[in-house]
């Protein structure tokens, strides 16, 4: 059993898959804190968790056709320590709702395949600059993990070189998560954090970085984590025709109450809480909530945001809450939420027209139905 050495996990997590291990926290707990506690942060592994001894750890840096340099952990830690607060979200977050439109392939994530943490490590741009890379001679920076599939091929992904080398993009090789060394599940001892970009590019247990003219050849870059038309089927899909997902679109979710809950009405109102986030460093500027199919939209209070973030570098999620007035006589209500980002991108209304066969980019309005106790 290749998974026999996997670490133990917090029992509060809802398990979506055992081997490889994939799990998410219950939604109400997710919005209890701005920084997601490490042991409750969702886990998305594609392969067995590698067991890495710090003293054996190496990071190989290759500039295709030119140089190769090997760092041990101490050599990396000599670079200036840099911290950012950023959400990481799986491209399949909220897939279970899209799956109601039509059959699709992928793990059935609820709204919890996202977490927000303070990551600390070294800036990728500092390391690349030291190597004297000519940004114009290359196009991509590829990452490989220590985790291997049965054929010995590692997990891999890549990002555009402009992103990797831009100090304002804040791409880091993180060794700390919320002030603690990374746990084994989250990439010990080192992982890539590409803020504002789909989780899949945030390579854990990073072992190799290659500056290249080409994207990562990995299955997860080439044959997965791409979007398609609702009409694309497994019979006619051509993965080479869609670009790999990088920056994520605007999204929000209601986390408390949850769908099918019964809620006590107090003074004619109920409290609704959730998160919102957008990719590319775009700030959440508004969250709108309705419980009468859009006849009235209530503007949520944005309770927690990274108030120190600079323009274009809002990597954290935003937590929000709103007091919704409900009809005196109703025994149930349907609630919808949608977020707006700083580019005035708004979530699409429904899943029907953004459906894709892999169940990615599931950012339609979040809709829940709850019972009311008056
Ligand atoms: N990196 C490696 N080496 N192996 C993986 O399976 N999964 C990716 C990414 N990095 C993965 C990886 C995916 S799809 C996601 S969503 C995030 O890690 C999940 O990060 P987390 O488990 O720390 O929440
Ligand atoms: Mo993911």
Checking DSSP bridges between strand 140-148 and strand 172-177, what pairing results, if any?
unpaired
C-beta 248 within 6 A of ligand 1: no
Beta-carbon contacts of 170 under 8 Å, excluding residues fewer than 6 positions away, are: 82, 84, 86, 123, 195, 313, 315
C-beta 202 within 6 A of ligand 1: yes
Shortest-distance Cα residue to atom 17 of ligand 1: 199
pTM above 0.90, yes or no: yes
CA distances 313 to 233, 304, 339, Å, are 36, 16, 18
Ligand located closest to 24 CA: 1
Q: How far is the CA of 90 from the centre of ligand 1 (A)?
A: 8
- Given ligand 1 and candidates 22, 44, 171, 173, which is best to mutate, with the most ligand atoms within 8 Å of its CB? 44
Q: How far is the CA of 44 from the centre of ligand 2 (A)?
A: 6
In this model, does residue 67 exceed pLDDT 90?
Answer: no
Band (pLDDT 50/70/90 cuts) for residue 338 is very high
Of 365, 335, 336, 337, residue with least CA distance to 349 = 365
C-beta 356 within 6 A of ligand 1: no
Question: What is the rounded CA–CA span in Å between residue 171 and residue 177?
Answer: 15
Beta-carbon contacts of 315 under 8 Å, excluding residues fewer than 6 positions away, are: 84, 85, 86, 87, 170, 195, 196, 281, 306, 309
Shortest-distance Cα residue to atom 19 of ligand 1: 44
Mean pLDDT calculated for residue range 295-314: 97
C-beta 49 within 6 A of ligand 1: no
C-beta 41 within 6 A of ligand 1: yes
Q: How far is the CA of 101 from the centre of ligand 1 (A)?
A: 27
Of 69, 220, 237, 108, residue with least CA distance to 155 = 220
Ligand located closest to 107 CA: 2
C-beta 23 within 6 A of ligand 1: no
In this model, does residue 79 exceed pLDDT 90?
Answer: yes
In this model, does residue 322 exceed pLDDT 90?
Answer: yes
For the CA atoms of the chain, what is the radius of gyration?
21
Shortest-distance Cα residue to atom 8 of ligand 1: 200
Question: What is the rounded CA–CA span in Å between residue 273 and residue 31?
Answer: 7
Q: What percent of the chain has pLDDT over 90?
A: 99
C-beta 208 within 6 A of ligand 1: no
Mean pLDDT calculated for residue range 295-309: 97
Q: Are the C-beta atoms of 158 and 140 separated by less than 8 Å?
A: yes
Mean pLDDT calculated for residue range 236-260: 98
Q: How far is the CA of 236 from the centre of ligand 2 (A)?
A: 24
Mean pLDDT calculated for residue range 156-181: 98
Question: What is the rounded CA–CA span in Å between residue 343 and residue 341?
Answer: 5
C-beta 358 within 6 A of ligand 1: no
Q: What is the pLDDT of residues 198-241, one digit of tens each?
A: 999 999 999 999 999 999 999 999 999 999 999 999 999 999 99
In this model, does residue 65 exceed pLDDT 90?
Answer: no
Shortest-distance Cα residue to atom 2 of ligand 1: 204
Shortest-distance Cα residue to atom 13 of ligand 1: 200
Q: Token pair 């994207």 is at which residue? A: 215
């Amino acid at each position: 059993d290749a998974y026999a050495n996997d670490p133990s996990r917090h029992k509060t997590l809802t398990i979506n898959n055992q081997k490889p291990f994939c799990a998410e926290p219950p939604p109400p707990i997710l919005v209890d804190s701005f920084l997601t506690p490490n042991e409750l942060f969702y886990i998305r592994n594609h392969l067995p968790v590698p067991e890495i001894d710090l003293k054996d750890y190496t990071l190989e840096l290759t500039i295709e056709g030119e140089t190769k340099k090997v760092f041990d952990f101490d050599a990396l830690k000599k670079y200036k320590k840099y911290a950012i607060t950023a959400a990481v979200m799986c491209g399949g977050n909220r897939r279970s709702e899209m799956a109601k439109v039509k059959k699709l392939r992928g793990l059935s994530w609820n709204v919890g395949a996202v977490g927000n943490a303070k990551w600390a490590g070294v800036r990728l741009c500092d390391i690349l600059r030291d190597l004297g890379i000519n940004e114009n001679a290359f196009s991509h920076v590829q990452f490989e993990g220590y985790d291997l599939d049965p054929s010995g091929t590692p997990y891999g992904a890549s990002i555009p070189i402009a992103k990797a080398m831009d100090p304002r993009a804040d791409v880091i090789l993180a060794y700390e998560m919320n002030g603690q060394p990374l746990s084994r599940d989250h990439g010990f001892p080192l992982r890539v954090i590409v803020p504002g970009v789909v989780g899949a590019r945030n390579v854990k247990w990073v072992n190799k970085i290659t500056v290249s003219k080409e994207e990562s050849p990995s299955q997860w870059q080439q044959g997965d984590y791409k979007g398609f038309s609702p009409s694309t089927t497994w019979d006619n899909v051509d993965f080479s025709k869609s670009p790999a997902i990088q920056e994520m679109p605007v999204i929000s979710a209601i986390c408390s109450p949850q769908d099918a809950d019964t809620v006590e009405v107090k003074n004619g109102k109920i409290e609704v809480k959730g998160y919102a986030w957008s990719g590319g460093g775009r700030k959440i500027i508004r969250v709108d909530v309705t419980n009468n199919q859009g006849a009235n939209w209530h503007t949520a209070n944005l309770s927690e945001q990274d108030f120190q973030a600079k323009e274009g570098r809002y990597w954290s999620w935003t937590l929000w809450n709103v007091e919704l007035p409900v009809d005196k006589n109703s025994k149930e209500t349907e609630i919808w939420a949608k977020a707006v980002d700083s580019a005035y991108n708004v979530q699409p209304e429904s899943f029907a027209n953004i459906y894709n066969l892999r169940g990615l980019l599931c950012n339609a309005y979040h809709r829940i139905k709850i019972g009311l106790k008056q």
